[in-house]
């Protein structure tokens, strides 16, 4: 075990070189209408804070296992994705605890949530991030075929980006 409690592959086998301190990762389908909001917001957040040392951008469209594999090797990951929640208006930003990202495992490995995928990655010797911050942005029509976000969501983008950047600035100050 390393000092951060992350298992390392035996004798460095399969170890990916440590890339950088922080990754901003947008998740979604760029052709799925509002389902692409995580990709759009991640790009905008990266434009504002990406110049900071060690911050990279990733745009992810795969399963929880694909996401877990891609974020391995980073210390801190800011994950941004669409969130279906009929109790909140479109464009509402919610910080989600990783433990809530468990998915529905009753249908097999294709529906495993991120938390379980990261646990399996850790058990397999992968270098999972020590901190994963998940931001969900509420949407109404996430699977409509379109390369554009809905007007309601588009209008909320500046505020969403500001909220995430402010939260990350606060986290940076707290970590210093």
- CB atoms under 10 Å from CB of 18, counted, come to 10
Q: What is the mean pLDDT of residues 1-18?
A: 38
Q: Is the dihedral of CA 74, 77, 82, 86 positive or negative?
A: positive
CA angle at 25 for the pair 16 and 10, rounded to the nearest 5°:
20
Beta strand 131-139 pairing with 93-96? antiparallel
Q: CATH code at 45?
A: 3.40.50.1450
For residue 12, the model assigns a pLDDT of 40
> pLDDT tens digits, residue range 79-110?
898 888 888 899 999 988 765 555 544 344 44
Determine the Cα–Cα distance for residues 131 and 76; give it in Å rounded to an integer: 5
Please give the structure tokens belonging to residue 10: 């035996």
Burial of residue 176, with CB atoms counted within 10 A of its CB: 0-12 exposed, 13-18 middle, 19 or more buried? exposed
> pLDDT tens digits, residue range 119-141?
776 777 777 777 888 899 999 86
Helix (H, G, I), strand (E, B) or coil at 100: helix
How many structural domains does the chain have? 1
Determine the Cα–Cα distance for residues 119 and 43; give it in Å rounded to an integer: 27
Residue 30 within any structural domain of the chain: yes
Residue 128 within any structural domain of the chain: yes
Determine the Cα–Cα distance for residues 35 and 27; give it in Å rounded to an integer: 8
User: Could you tell me if 34 and 142 are in contact, meaning their C-beta atoms sit under 8 angstroms apart?
Assistant: yes
Determine the Cα–Cα distance for residues 68 and 118; give it in Å rounded to an integer: 6
H helix or E strand, kind and range, residue 22: strand 22-27
Residue 157 within any structural domain of the chain: yes
For residue 142, the model assigns a pLDDT of 63
Residue 164 within any structural domain of the chain: yes
Residue 11 within any structural domain of the chain: no
Domain range spanning residue 140? 19-175
Residue 10 within any structural domain of the chain: no
The pLDDT confidence band at residue 15, using thresholds 50, 70 and 90, is: very low
For residue 99, the model assigns a pLDDT of 54
Residue 9 within any structural domain of the chain: no
Residue 3 within any structural domain of the chain: no
CA angle at 15 for the pair 13 and 19, rounded to the nearest 5°:
160
């Amino acid at each position: 075990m390393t000092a951060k409690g992350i298992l390392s592959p035996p004798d460095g086998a399969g170890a990916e070189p440590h890339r950088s301190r922080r990754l901003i990762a947008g998740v979604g389908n760029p052709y799925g209408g509002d389902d692409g909001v995580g990709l759009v917001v991640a790009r905008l957040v990266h434009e504002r804070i990406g110049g900071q040392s060690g911050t990279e951008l990733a745009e992810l469209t795969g399963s929880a296992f694909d996401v877990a594999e891609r974020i391995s090797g980073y210390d801190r990951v800011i994950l941004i994705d669409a969130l279906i929640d009929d109790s909140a208006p479109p464009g509402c930003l919610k910080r989600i605890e990783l433990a809530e990202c468990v998915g529905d495992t009753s249908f097999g490995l294709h529906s495993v949530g991120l938390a379980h995928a990261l646990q399996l990655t850790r058990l397999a010797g992968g270098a999972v991030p020590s901190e994963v911050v998940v931001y969900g942005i509420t949407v109404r029509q996430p699977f409509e075929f379109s390369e554009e976000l809905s007007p309601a969501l588009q209008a909320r983008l500046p505020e969403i980006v500001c909220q995430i950047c402010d939260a990350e600035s606060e986290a940076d100050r707290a970590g210093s």
